[in-house]
Amino acid sequence: MFIFPQAGTYEIFVRPVTPCGLGNETTKTITISSDCQGSFNRMVIKPNPVDKDLYIDLNIDNNVKAEKNRALNLQLFDINDGRLVKNWKIVYQTKLNISVSDVKNGKYVLVVTDGKERLSKQVIVRH
């Protein structure tokens, strides 16, 4: 899995490992657009960099109503190796506070999903 913190063009270098050893390196160019159309497209996270608590405002239009018992899944991935660092499952809310006080300093990608939509933002943790 690759996680891209923002829209842009990225080059990915791939070298397969086969039973016979290393294969030839291949370069792929991927363009990630920022034309979000979902209800999460205006998500605000602050402060960034964050020390203890991260405030998340999904900025969902007033006419978009949450389904009863709908859940949000928030995942924090290390931007360097894609490793899942924290995972929160929260009853659907448009304004959230999550603690990152136990997360090491570094750059991360916060991924928010609700079963229908998915959005990611870069987060810097600095204690």
Q: In the prediction, which pLDDT does 63 show? A: 45
Question: What is the tens place of the pLDDT at every residue in 59-92?
Answer: 765 445 555 567 889 999 999 888 999 999 988 7
Domains and CATH numbers, the chain: 36-125 (2.60.40.3080)
Report long-range pairs for 31-38 (Cβ below 8 Å, ≥24 apart).
32/4, 32/6, 32/7, 32/8, 33/7, 34/6, 34/7, 36/119, 38/116, 38/117, 38/119
If one compares 89 and 9, the residue with the highest pLDDT of the two is: 89
- Model-level pTM? 0.67
Q: In the prediction, which pLDDT does 117 show? A: 76
Q: In the prediction, which pLDDT does 101 show? A: 95
- Stretch 98-111: mean pLDDT, rounded? 94
Instruction: Check residue 103 and report its DSSP letter.
Output: S
